[in-house]
Structure 1
């Protein structure tokens, strides 16, 4: 008989349509907004542009999911952590 390990953190890695839950929520808000735009507009160009916008947004969100380092501009941790007050004077030479 097989034994399965209990996995309690399933929501951390949950994926819907290739997107994590937070990005999937962004996509759903965009789709609902685009449906409202389609309902209240009578222009064919606006309908096509909304569909193209949703497709581009989905592609961008999947790329962000696959490569999260794109938006990481600064280092996560500082070089050193200290309680001392920073006087601005550096006595060490490299």
Structure 2
């Protein structure tokens, strides 16, 4: 009889094949588009190019999932909000 482990990490993101649901949907759309390319232009070169493209897309998306800091350039909000002057320049008349 097959045994299943209890899923206790309900607050974590849902993952399908190691990808979040949105990136998995992107990969499936690319696979469907690749199938259309293979169907309408059937050649060995097209099949090989589409296979390589799908493999590199999957590898790239899994690496992006494991290292999400790649696209995070800066924070949206500052850590503190202050009305203190940031520079030492005085713009008043002497």
Residue 17 of structure 1 deviates from its aligned partner by 0.4
Give the distance between the partners of 1:21 and 1:68, measured in 2 at CA.
Answer: 15
Instruction: Looking at secondary structure, tell me which structure has more helix per residue.
Output: 1
TM-score (ref. length: structure 2): 0.72
Residue 92 of structure 1 deviates from its aligned partner by 4.3
Larger radius of gyration: 2
Task: Indicate yes or no: 2:51 matched with 1:74.
Answer: no
Tell me which stretches of 4 or more aligned residues in structure 1 moved more than 2 Å: 6-9, 79-82, 89-93
**May I ask how many residue pairs the two structures share in their alignment?**
82
Q: Is there any run of 5+ residues in structure 1 with no aligned partner, and where?
A: none
Q: Is there any run of 5+ residues in structure 2 with no aligned partner, and where?
A: 1-5, 90-94
- Aligned-residue Cα RMSD (Å) equals 2.6
